[in-house]
Structure 1
Amino acid sequence: MTEIIERPVVPAAPNVGPSPARRKLCIVTVAACAPYLTLKVLWILGIGLGVNGSTFLDDTRPANIATAFMDLCAAGLAVLFVHPVGRRIPALLVGLPTWVATGLLTPLCGGLVLGLPAQLLSGGDAFRDDGGLNAWVFVVVYSGFLVQAGLLIPAFALYARDRWPALFAARQAAIGTAGPHRTRRILEGGFVVGATVFAAQHMYDAIAGGGLYLDPTTTQRVAQLTFALLAMVGVAAYTQFWRGRPQSRKLLAAAWIGSGVVFAESLSLVTDLVVAGPDDDPIYGPGAALLCVLSLLCALGGAIAGMLRLEATTSRLP
């Protein structure tokens, strides 16, 4: 007679909603986007609130449309981090814009936090009025960016922990290595080269002046150094990956931030070049513009390598 053994049924984990901390982070993030979006909408409509230059509104309208869209995306991400739809849409639709936002906000936050005290010690103005804007505009805009950087990224971390609990719950040994992959190694090596050139360019601009700031203030010099430092953090992480070293959450986070910084800054500079036109762009000549495009492509390749690495890693987790 065959004995039937009934196994206990383990109930699935309930799909609980976002934690109160994540809700608060996202609500404040959306509120922090409002002043910047308001200014951008007014400028797009031709209302020069905070503007001194007579041609500023016409000259910057395409850029204002692009940056308003980007900040609107940041507010949309904050909503997705707490809305049930955010758990159902493809991970790429959440991860890609969050990666770009991380690359935009992290160096801005670091540059201001470190640069403003240095500016106070060295004297002078943190931001020279090169764009025909009142001083209070810079205070409003960059204060909003600091809040977004300080809240949006932690909110994404809480969202990711809830959506992909296996990756966060796994022991360090379970993460291990992602295994050999020829394409991934090529992309990781390309990122290391491109990000190193990116860091060297920003280091030169910080010391000698150039690029966005021909005569940079102390705050702007520190900001350029922050870009270089974060890019080299990504280089260090991808170098470890390329050499086949065991990966860790810290290395994955460093790769995420470093590649995001290189991609977002390169994308911003390339967009500026496209909007201004190759003959009118005041920032870079043809050679430096080509370097921006190459850095952009290398960072994109690094992101693809990161996705391949995460896919290989998560497929082995329980």
Structure 2
Amino acid sequence: MKTTVESDSAYTPRSASSPGRFRWVVACAAIVGIVPYVALKVLWISGSRVGIDDPEFGRGGAMAVLNAGTAVMDVIAVLLALSFVTEWGRKIPAPVLLLPMWVATGLLGQILVILPVQLVVGTESSPEGKGASVLADWVPTVVYSGFAWQGFFLILGFALYAKDRWGTRVIARGPEHSGVGAGLAVIGCCAIAVSTLVSKGPGPLETVNAVASSVIALFTGAAVVVFAWNWGSHRLPLVRLAAAGFGWFGSGAMFAWGTYLTVMAVVPNDLRSSDGIDVASVMLTSLTAAVGAICGIVLLRTIARRPNAANVAN
């Protein structure tokens, strides 16, 4: 089905240009950061116990599926990195490329934000509960430093690709978004921020994660206000650019981490710290994912509502 929406060709590629050496270096650097994690996952899937101190950990079917799923996600990250510098990457329909990159920006971007704070306050950077105590000390270091590395270069590569493919038209002023969706997104972000702080655990790691998640939710709500309600005049393009960037990151982080934590809490696996399900926690993480999705949809629809008409496939 095709719907006519107002757009200034936010989905229409500009004329092709060579990516240049720097963009190739960025893409290759992102792939280098992906290799250690994929190698660990391949070893574990094949039955190796390297980096695992507990002889019983990770032998169940759920962990095999989880390892395979996360390995596939990193393979997709490799394809994304290559798509940013190749001719076939410019031909990929925008929604096909933007959805996995939105999720990747949220997952890896939040690690980029939280990891330095955790290092400063001296907390362990592992969200996996029981899993951290059964893995060798070097595993979280390799995994999360790799996440930070690939996150930085993958997001940088995407930013350069987006600028080359779509230019700055995605932040041009246009008709305001209808207030219902944007209003729900803003209210949801504020509610998630408060609920996350109220329900945080007692430890320093939980405090760092809760504060960071709450700040991300609040800034995402602010980004929706600025971008969807057309704040920031033509004299303040940097305001709209910042709102678009943080809205992209924040909504992706809320959706991706909310979904991940919900799945990890509901599906039986060796990383759960207890056998029971914390219903309140699951409700919060699932609502976080839902609000993130609403924010992402509002921002996307706002970008699409541009002065010139264009046909965008739903």
Alignment TM class, shorter chain as reference: 0.7 to 0.9
Alpha-carbon spacing, 1:201–1:129, altered in 2? closer, same or farther (3 Å)? closer
Larger deviation, residues 189-198 vs 231-240: 189-198
Residue of structure 2 equivalent to 1:288: 281
Q: In the alignment, residue 116 of structure 2 is paired with which amino acid?
A: V
Which runs of 5 or more structure 2 residues have no equivalent in the other structure?
Answer: 1-13, 234-239
Contact kept in structure 2, 1:108 and 1:223, CA below 8 Å: no
Distance 1:50 1:228 in 2: 33
In structure 1, the partner of 2:130 is 130
Structure 2 residue identity aligned to 1:202: T
- Please report how far the alpha carbon of residue 14 of structure 1 lies from its aligned counterpart in structure 2 after TM superposition: 6.0
Question: Identical aligned pairs, as a percentage?
Answer: 29
Partner of 1:50: 51
Q: Distance in 2 between matches of 1:163 and 1:241?
A: 21
Using the TM superposition, give the Cα deviation of residue 189 of structure 1 relative to its aligned residue in structure 2, in angstroms.
2.0
Distance in 1, matches of 2:181 and 2:268, equals 31
1:153 aligns with 2:151: no
Gaps of 5+ in 1: 1-12, 210-215
**Whole-Å separation in 2 of the counterparts to 1:281 and 1:187:** 37
* Matched AA of 1:179: P
- Letter in structure 2 aligned against 1:66: G
Q: Which residue of 2 aligns with 1:144?
A: 146
SS at match of 1:245: coil
Could you tell me whether the CA contact under 8 Å between 2:227 and 2:299 is conserved in 1?
no
Alignment of 1:237 onto 2:240: no
Q: Is residue 67 of structure 1 aligned with residue 61 of structure 2?
A: no
The 5 Å alignment of 1:208-219 reads 208-209=201-202, 216=203, 218-219=204-205
With over 3 angstroms needed to count, the CA separation of the structure-2 counterparts of 1:314 and 1:79, relative to structure 1, is: farther
Superposed displacement of residue 299, structure 1: 1.6
Whether 1:82 aligns to 2:93 is no
Which position in structure 1 is the counterpart of 2:181?
Answer: 187
User: AA paired with 2:160?
Assistant: L
Shift of 1:54: 2.1
Give the number of the structure whose alpha-carbon radius of gyration is greater.
Answer: 1
Higher relative contact order (CA 8 A, sep 6+): 2
The aligned amino acid for 1:142 is Y
Q: Residue 305 of structure 1: which of 278, 294, 298 is its match?
A: 298
- Measured in 2, the distance between the counterparts of 1:288 and 1:53 equals 27
What SS does structure 2 have at the residue aligned with 1:56? coil
Classify the secondary structure of the residue corresponding to 1:57.
Answer: coil
User: Matched residue of 2:74: which SS?
Assistant: helix
Task: Note if 1:200 corresponds to 2:194.
Answer: yes
Supply the distance in 2 between the matched residues of 1:304 and 1:55 (Cα, whole angstroms): 43
In structure 1, C-alpha distance between the alignment counterparts of 2:110 and 2:227, rounded to whole Å: 23
Mapped partners of 2:125, 2:77: distance in 1: 26
Determine if the alignment matches structure 1 residue 101 to structure 2 residue 83. Answer: no
User: Does the 8 A contact of 1:179 with 1:312 survive in 2?
Assistant: yes
> Number of aligned pairs?
283
- Corresponding residue for residue 228 of structure 1: 214
The offset of 1:306, in angstroms, is 1.3
